[in-house]
Amino acid sequence: MRKYVREMSVSRSTYRHRLSGEDVRKTRILITKDAWKLFPGPGERVALRIGARRFDAEIKSERCECVPPEHEHYHLICPALKGQTGFKNGALVVIAKDSDGGYRFVEERG
């Protein structure tokens, strides 16, 4: 069983999350339940801006039993995250919703 206990916060336009090693290996970002409202539902494709470039990303759900009862975890999946500066185990990242409906990836510094 896995436990997801990570530093995070949610506002109306941003989501902060501390990456796990599993997030990095699977080029995904866990979206905690309190942040679901900031993102489209599972199966939806979204545009993710990393620096000046835009990439296709997707919201996926995964069934889990890390704590009873069985439930779902949502993830932002984007293969382009692999190798990006700031996309490493333990990094605090920000996903911000843009006015055009897309999202941008930013490493939180400090």
CA dist., res. 103 & res. 99, Å (int): 9
Nearest C-alpha neighbor of 74 from the set 40, 26, 42: 42
- Predicted pLDDT of residue 69: 87
pLDDT digits (tens, 9 = 90+) for 59-82: 999 888 788 888 888 999 999 999
Give the strand pairing for 45-50 and 103-107.
parallel
Q: Please provide the average confidence, as pLDDT, over all residues in the chain.
A: 87
The answer as to CATH 2.30.30.40 being correct for domain 8-107 is no
